[in-house]
Amino acid sequence: MDMPFDPSQAGSLVVGCHLSVAKGFPAAAGVAVQVGANALQFFPRNPRGGAQRQVSEAERAQWLERREEAGLRYTIAHIPYTVNLASPKPAAYEFARRVLREDLERCRWVGADAAVTHPGSYVEGDPADGTRRIIAAIEPVLPLLEEPGAPWLLLETMSGQGSEIGGRLEELRAILEGLGWPPRVGVCLDTCHLFAAGYDWRDPAQVDRLVEDLDRAVGWERVQALHVNDSKFPCGSRRDRHEKMGQGEIGRRGFANLLRHPRLRALPMLLETPIDGELDYAAEIRWLRDLDRELAAGA
């Protein structure tokens, strides 16, 4: 299976954060350098799902050059939260299908490694109908994912709140199985969501259980990225509220267990913690890198 990121070459952490590209992709690369990131996540359009900003050939060329200079080892787009691939409402569903295709095409244009999306919410009725709608929405873009330079499409693990799909790994497996296990559709983990869904990062045995469950449910080769966020709410709460690193319920102990696990540590890590301004990510990235160095030194 073709992998955009080679974990065996990871060495130091590949860690970044979600940055705005509203002022252009090259500008976002500059901010990444300022905060000490070597990975970057972005919205391909307004997060509320508005129209895409046009990216010229000149901006694209400058971005590709600036990305190399900045040492960005992984770039990933986040499909807007307003996209609901499981929606039972025809207008919302057709909007989701259109945005998914357009944003994957944008990712290919700018050379992003992957695009991550929330699987969706069935809203009402039978959850299985929501899963079928997700499969039907993704099927038409599978040929796009086979084209040269295409990104991966990653389904995010969710907290399981309300009617959302993806709070259980079996739900992600059902989508992948329904799609016929396509080679460039995988999974993006989220520490806060998994904690809320019942995986306690503070217990090393629970971390091992998560990795084993992922291997069994979807295959580890499909796990391509990791959102690193602390949690405002307790383990198993099924409530999705991110907190700054080390200041929530997961805490230092939980993230230390994550970093001690070689498979998890090798994944590209993207921060989505609450901040007042993008430069605040510098402290969050430094906290994670400092913890990794302390563990390496035997602290």
Residue 199: CB atoms within 10 A of its CB come to: 22
Phi, psi of 227 (to 5 degrees): -80, 125
Strand partners, 156: 188
Q: Is 261 annotated as a binding residue?
A: no
Q: Is 280 annotated as a binding residue?
A: no
Q: Is 156 annotated as a binding residue?
A: yes
Q: Which two tokens stand for residue 17?
A: 């954060």
Q: Which residue has the tokens 């796990």?
A: 223
Decide if 274 contacts 244 (C-beta within 8 A): yes
In the chain, what are the helix, strand and coil shares in percent, each to the nearest 5? 45, 15, 40
Q: Is 242 annotated as a binding residue?
A: yes
Q: Is 118 annotated as a binding residue?
A: yes
Measured distance CA(57)–CA(183) in Å, rounded: 29
Measured distance CA(156)–CA(121) in Å, rounded: 13
Q: Is 78 annotated as a binding residue?
A: yes
Q: Which two tokens stand for residue 9?
A: 């070459």
- The answer for 168, left when phi > 0, alpha when psi is -120 to 50, beta otherwise, is beta
Planar angle of CA 149, 152, 157, nearest 5 degrees: 165
Measured distance CA(151)–CA(188) in Å, rounded: 13
Decide if 17 contacts 245 (C-beta within 8 A): no
Q: Is 190 annotated as a binding residue?
A: yes
- Listed in sequence order, the DSSP H helices in the chain are 25-35, 57-70, 90-110, 127-138, 142-145, 169-178, 191-196, 204-217, 251-260, 262-265, 281-296
Report the binding-site residues. Answer: 78, 118, 156, 190, 193, 227, 240, 242, 272
Report the binding-site residues for Zn(2+). Answer: 78, 118, 156, 190, 193, 227, 240, 242, 272
